[in-house]
Amino acid sequence: MMIDTLLAFVVVRALWNWNWLQAGLFLALFLVVDFAFFSANLVKVFDGGWFPLALGLGIFILFATWKRGRTLLYERLQQDSMPLDAFLASLQFGGPHRVAGTGIFMTTRPDGVPRAMLHNMLHNKVLHERIILLNVNLQDIPHVDETGRILVEQLSNGFYRVILNYGFKDDPNIPLALELCGSHGMAPVEMMETSFFLGRETIVPNRVPSMPLWRQILFMWMFRNAGTATDFFKLPTNRVVELGTQVEL
């Protein structure tokens, strides 16, 4: 309850624009009651009350480490990213050999070249005739209406940018969404002629760590045991190509 009182103080100050005197009286009134209740329950900490506190602290450390690690990983991946506009312009002066079929590259940055595409060009020296840059945007709302779920943009040189919007309670299904892209001006995607290219990062400790070593090890363990994008997005496993790379945190 004491935390609720402190959050209410933030609301009346930041959102309701109460002055300091009004907000202070409001805070003091509730803190007297909350502090008395808190003090009365404090003795229970040594009589088994420490367990839920320790459990909550452990869960908080896991969540905070995952969030911090994902942020650092995203920043490291963006350091090697190339602007998409510059890449498409360079294809006007020649580029890798184009092969039949459709290549779908999942990316977190719609305006950049996916890392998996750069690795594919480095190792295989080819690009598919049609390239779909697929970005899945998970929004902070329960559901996204079907009319606003799919955005298709045709680019130059056989490239398409597809953005799929989902709410946090929606069940992402990329093959099903790709079937609906035909009504947005893009030719149907034949799964037997399509390859999904995913990046597979392996985390290694950095000599100059951005977070303590124990948190790096914890994040590496969590990242290694996390669910795969193939399962989460319901991609056909026989059409997925994973390109691995090492990333230092």
Assess whether 42 and 107 both reside in one domain: no
What is the structure's pLDDT at 57?
95
Residue 22 domain-assigned (yes or no)? yes
Residue 60 domain-assigned (yes or no)? no
Residue 204 domain-assigned (yes or no)? yes
Assess whether 19 and 100 both reside in one domain: no
Assess whether 162 and 238 both reside in one domain: yes
Residue 27 domain-assigned (yes or no)? yes
How many domains does the chain fold into?
2
Assess whether 189 and 111 both reside in one domain: yes
Assess whether 97 and 42 both reside in one domain: no
Secondary structure of residue 112 in the 3-state scheme: strand
Cβ(126)–Cβ(96) below 8 Å: yes
Query: What gap in Å lies between CA 215 and CA 203, rounded to an integer?
Result: 12
Assess whether 6 and 128 both reside in one domain: no
Residue 18 domain-assigned (yes or no)? yes
Query: What gap in Å lies between CA 24 and CA 124, rounded to an integer?
Result: 66
Q: Considering the chain, what is the average pLDDT of its residues?
A: 88
Show the tokens assigned to 140: 């902070």
Residue 117 domain-assigned (yes or no)? yes
Query: What gap in Å lies between CA 209 and CA 248, rounded to an integer?
Result: 9
Assess whether 83 and 136 both reside in one domain: yes
What is the structure's pLDDT at 208?
67
Residue 85 domain-assigned (yes or no)? yes
Assess whether 43 and 154 both reside in one domain: no
Assess whether 118 and 241 both reside in one domain: yes
Show the tokens assigned to 8: 């209410």
Closest alpha carbon to 165 in 195, 192, 145, 189: 145
H helical segments located in the chain:
2-14, 20-42, 50-79, 84-90, 115-124, 174-180, 213-225, 229-232
Assess whether 171 and 224 both reside in one domain: yes
At 66, the amino acid letter reads: W
Residue 105 domain-assigned (yes or no)? yes
Assess whether 213 and 160 both reside in one domain: yes
Whole-model pTM: value is: 0.78
Assess whether 83 and 183 both reside in one domain: yes
Cβ(128)–Cβ(104) below 8 Å: no
Count Cβ atoms below 10 Å from residue 114 Cβ, excluding itself.
27
Query: What gap in Å lies between CA 102 and CA 40, rounded to an integer?
Result: 66
Q: State which residues form the domain around 104.
A: 79-248
Give the DSSP letter string of 10-30: HHHHHTS---HHHHHHHHHHH
Q: What is the mean pLDDT of each run of 10 residues along the chain (249 residues)?
A: 82 86 85 84 86 94 94 83 87 87 91 89 91 92 88 92 93 90 86 91 78 89 90 92 83
